[in-house]
Amino acid sequence: MALTCPTSVQKPSTFEFIDCTTISISYSSRGTANVGFTVVSTSFDGLLNDYSVIEFGKVTFSLVVKDVNVSVIPGTLVYQYQLNMIGFGC
């Protein structure tokens, strides 16, 4: 007899947040900001919020996406979006 498991896996409530421990900001000699951070989300179809204008440490950054890496957190139904963005802060 084959082992069967119930398929009634409940999807967690919808949430999304920036993992503050992953925030990285550096500046080039031209003044552009390279900003990286990880967003934790229950959505696999894309992020629920817009991160193109965001404030860190009283500096407002206007950013465009340079690179995105999406992975599932093992053993969960939650995803990590590692965003690498470039833009200007003022």
Confidence of residue 13 (pLDDT cuts 50, 70, 90): confident
pLDDT in tens, 20-61: 999 999 999 999 999 999 999 999 899 999 999 999 999 999
- Name the residue type at position 1: M
Spatial separation of the C-alpha atoms in residues 44 and 11, rounded to whole Å: 12
